[in-house]
Amino acid sequence: MDNLSDTLKKLKITAVDRTEDSLEGCLDCLLQALAQNNMETSEKIQGSGILQLFASLLIPQSSCTAKVANIIAEVAKNEFMRIPCVDAGLISPLVQLLTSKDQEVLLQTGRALGNICYDSHEGRSAVDQAGGAQIVIDHLRSLCSITDPANEKLLTVFCGMLMNYSNENDSLQAQLINMGVIPTLVKLLGIHCQNAALTEMCLVAFGNLAELESSKEQFASTNIAEELVKLFKKQIEHDKREMIFEVLAPLAENDAIKLQLVEAGLVECLLEIVQQKVNSDKEDDIAELKTASDLMVLLLLGDESMQKLFEGGKGNVFQRVLSWIPSNNHQLQLAGALAIANFARNDGNCIHMVDNGIVENLMDLLDRHVEDGNVTVQHAALSALRNLAIPVVNKAKMLSAGVTEAVLKFLKSEMPPVQFKLLGTLRMLIDAQEAAEQLGKNVKLVERLVEWCEAKDHAGVMGESNRLLSALIRHSKSKDVIKTIVQSGGIKHLVTMATSEHVIMQNEALVALALIAALELGTAEKDLESAKLVQILHRLLADERSAPEIKYNSMVLICALMGSESLHKEVQDLAFLDVVSKLRSHENKSVAQQASLTEQRLTVDS
């Protein structure tokens, strides 16, 4: 270290005199000291004030320039040295050196700038102001096709520099994207796929950039899918495959890229991984199985990619995914059920799958998870059943297959995601009067629905419970169902639902309440009164923002309520005639007609 102090003193003198031989000796000494103890040497360099001198030594025509840049690269490995490097004015001369023709100077300069930028806002900002990124991208473009080892090393350093420059910084990443870095990096990956270090650097850069939404379109216009799948097929090591997965996942969120990945043969690779790893209990294999099956499900979220893999229900991929459902591996059961839910996104696919016995597979899967089951598997299987129940022709088939019985086993679940899908599945199935009546008389179900109508922490569960209550009445048109709902305390929830911010829910509530008033007014009278239904209807009719169908159904309901003495009196007390008579001139003909009828009814009964 005494030697180092002497070297630093000597360097100050020779830096001014510019005697190249002795200058080179001093620089070699510094590099040696840094190799032995980087941190301590860096502290000494900072304390000596020599950093400021380096700026004047970074000149293109000097034979020592590469060594100076190398020293800066070494000291900048220490976090505490990065801001001092910026403050010493080193960025601007370093960026100017990027125009050098000397490969060693370019290499060391790239290292220095990359290390100064690492996790340093000040470093990045200075490089940005000096215009360093564009010069580096231009180099990558011009050197892209040269495959000798020295050039590949330089390309790797430049990629690393851009990565450190933009990592976790959205605006700098956007800047690189605007400069056209993505097509250049994709080309690099294609040409240099044999070079592990450069390939790895490209993958990390892709991983960073792919998180940005604006990058997806640029990626989609390249052959990134083809290159990544080609690279993926060559990899044997888990870590390397994991790196590629980390790029594939964000890219596969884009529908165009999903299709490109499917066409490039990624699905076959994923299915192979699943087959290889399914019976392994090694941690790495379990993680890879999960990643592969999750990615498979993600690819099915795109309409075109999904339809391509469905192949009319005859496709190899569809059949393989189907075989995951009866497996004993929870991850595969989950991925299989989610995949079916994704395939079930159009009527044709749903009808084909129900006709080919998939409902039975899903019910068997649910049966295996009733007691202390896996919540994510329950949720996924219910999602698939709900989607399959959307086409009208499937409903009766699924009811006769016993889907409602299978689903009702999960009524005791305390997990909101499971509750939500359970409710959605039942609501999709009960278009038929008989099914609605059967379910509407199920006291356990109705009581649970009324309980969930108060689940204020889970808006989805609350909304679906209300909608199912209303649907049971609307589709069954049954007095027994209405009595069950009244006895379970469901009326107040239907009245509250009439004030929902969603017109569709308001409407469903008003139609259900009109049926209650028409079929079982005496039974529901007290509950309708205490829920302040008449006041709510007055408010809906007086509010100019109410949709035409809301006004129409509110008036139908008012007429139906006139059969109750106490509710009739409430209607008279609130001067409904004024509000209704104004609606006779409403622009919607149905509303205007119903207003005339309602006015007559109110006038006769007053």
Question: Of 16-30, 118-132, 332-346, where does mean pLDDT reach its minimum?
Answer: 16-30
- Tell me the average pLDDT of the chain: 93
Give the model confidence (pLDDT) of 68-109 as tens digits.
Answer: 999 999 999 999 999 999 999 999 999 999 999 999 999 999
Quote the pLDDT of residue 251. Answer: 95
Residue 372: CB partners within 8 Å, gap ≥ 6? none
Domain boundaries, the chain: 532-605
Distances from the Cα of 447 to the Cα of 135, 214, 465, 496, 509, angstroms: 70, 49, 11, 17, 18
Q: What pLDDT digit, counting tens, does each position of 547-604 carry? A: 999 999 999 999 999 999 999 999 988 889 999 999 999 999 999 999 999 999 998 8
pLDDT at 2: 55
19: pLDDT strictly greater than 80: no
Encode pLDDT of 397-429 as tens digits: 999 999 999 999 999 999 999 999 999 999 999
Q: Is the pLDDT at 605 greater than 90, yes or no? A: no
Q: How confident is the model at residue 18 (pLDDT cuts 50, 70, 90)?
A: low
d(CA 526, CA 509): 18
Q: Residue ranges of the alpha helices (H) in 131-265?
A: 132-143, 149-166, 170-178, 181-191, 196-210, 213-220, 224-234, 238-251, 255-263
Rounded to whole angstroms, the Cα distance separating 192 from 99 reads 24
Asked whether the predicted pLDDT for residue 141 surpasses 60, the reply is yes
Give me the pLDDT at residue 49, please.
86
Q: Residue 326 has what pLDDT? A: 95
pLDDT, position 235: 87
Query: Is pLDDT of 1 > 60?
Result: no
Contact 102, 62 (CB under 8 A): no
Distance separating alpha carbons of residues 368 and 203, to the nearest angstrom: 41
**pLDDT higher than 60, residue 360:** yes
Examine the pLDDT at 21 and tell me if it is beyond 80.
Answer: no
pLDDT tens-digit map of 205-250: 999 999 898 899 999 999 999 999 999 999 888 888 999 999 999 9
pLDDT band at 16 (very low <50, low <70, confident <90, very high): low
Angle CA 418–419–422, to nearest 5: 85
Instruction: Identify the pLDDT of residue 17.
Output: 65
Contact partners, residue 49, CB within 8 Å, separation at least 6: none
Confidence class of residue 455 from pLDDT cuts 50, 70 and 90? confident
pLDDT score for 3: 77
Amino acid (1-letter code) at residue 200? E
334 has a pLDDT exceeding 80: yes
Q: What confidence score (pLDDT) does residue 162 get?
A: 96
CB 62 within 8 A of CB 55: no
The 10s digit of each residue's pLDDT in 509-546 is 999 999 999 999 999 999 999 999 999 999 999 999 99
Q: In this predicted structure, what is the pLDDT of residue 237?
A: 85
| Span 142-152, average pLDDT | 94
For the chain, percent of residues with pLDDT exceeding 70: 98
User: How much is the pLDDT for 481?
Assistant: 97
Contact 54, 20 (CB under 8 A): no
Assign 3-class secondary structure to 517-578.
Answer: HHHHHHHHHHHHHHCCHHHHHHHHHHCCCCCHHHHHHHHHHHHHHCCCHHHHHHHHHCCHHH
Q: How many whole angstroms separate alpha carbon 232 and alpha carbon 216?
A: 20
